[in-house]
Structure 1
Amino acid sequence: MVEQNSRSIRALYPGTFDPPTLGHISLIERACSLFGDVTVAVAKISGKDPLLMYEQRINLLRQIFSGNPNVKIIGFTGLLVDCAKKTNSNVIVRGLRTISDFDVEYRMSTINNIVMPELETVFLMSEPEYSFISSTFVKQIAREGGDISAFVPGAVLELLKELEENGHNI
């Protein structure tokens, strides 16, 4: 096995980010401290009821990380391994909140490694203060008119407020 300096590793953090949460932001920042380049790959949602449109999620993350040259935000469709090849990424970063997350992520990691053996997956445990946050719960609270300010960055709150003011259902 060839040793690599951690700064030569190109990390890919995929997700739907619907909406981006403080847990996502924390994980991206922590990945930046470990790897030279972090590409955040926003997946187009199929079969779900999105809160935010694909382009809105990409633009939000670009806005949030505009001052961080180590973070690149892209959109993707299709297989994650194809996205990894296109971005020359050699590590996938995944966050784990609970043991049930590990079960799902481990299986996906194994499949990705069979399809692309040179692609490694690194699991980062969520910080305790974010371990209960999920985009699904945040969406549910937002749609019921609840306060999500403790769970999402200010840019997300601003966009949702703007959408509501313009008559869009959340």
Structure 2
Amino acid sequence: MKIAVYPGSFDPVTLGHLDVIARGSKVFDKVIVGVLVNVDKKGLFNIEERVELIKRVTKNLPNVEVVSFEGLLVDLMREYSAHVILKGLRAFSDFEYEFQMALMNNKLDPEVETLFMMTSADYSYLSSSAVKQVAKFGGILKGLVPDEIIPDITRKINEK
């Protein structure tokens, strides 16, 4: 079974993330979406909320599983017997950092390979940070995130 792990903070999940998850689910037998607990960042959504939002928007993809993790990505990969890290690239500027991470993960576990998947051109400008900025200033989120989570984002922004 070919299992890939798609890691990220997903705060919040965007249509760009969902594009990579859906396309990855066609390439791999199983895609584990690994939602990173980043102790150095204060997110808009807590880890449980991020996992729940991604589960909600991927419920139609039966070979996608959403889990949270902290620590090393290679440890999560061993837990699920995965050998491929799936990473979405929006632009060339993403490549340098992601390439360094790929080399580090391969150094930590030589069995691990990283597959870079170009984000659809429709979403190449999109990031969770940009979504939060748009939401903070009352902009329209339609076309940036899945429709069903727009109320969640709006509610969280208004709480802050």
Please report the TM-score for the alignment, with normalisation by the length of structure 2: 0.95
Aligned 8 A contact 2:4 2:86 in 1: yes
Task: Kindly report which structure 2 residues correspond to 1:28-107, keeping only aligned pairs within 5 A, or say none.
Answer: 28-107=21-100
1:127 aligned to which of 120, 128, 134: 120
Q: Which has the larger radius of gyration?
A: 1
One-letter code aligned to 1:47: D
Query: For this pair of structures, how many residues does the alignment match?
Result: 160
- Point out 4+ residue stretches in structure 1 off by more than 6 angstroms: none
Distance in 1 of aligned mates of 2:66 and 2:116? 20
- TM-fit CA distance, 1:66: 1.6
**Closer/same/farther in 2, CA of residues 142 and 161 from structure 1, 3 Å limit:** closer
Identity of aligned residues (%): 38
Q: Which runs of 5+ in 1 are unaligned?
A: 1-7
Distance in 2 of aligned mates of 1:27 and 1:130? 10
Q: What SS does structure 1 have at the residue aligned with 2:159?
A: coil
One-letter code aligned to 1:115: L
Q: What SS does structure 1 have at the residue aligned with 2:82?
A: coil
One-letter code aligned to 1:82: D
Q: Which runs of 5+ in 2 are unaligned?
A: none
- TM-fit CA distance, 1:70: 0.4
Cα RMSD for the two superposed structures:
1.3
One-letter code aligned to 2:135: A
- TM-fit CA distance, 1:48: 2.4
Please report the TM-score for the alignment, with normalisation by the length of structure 1: 0.89
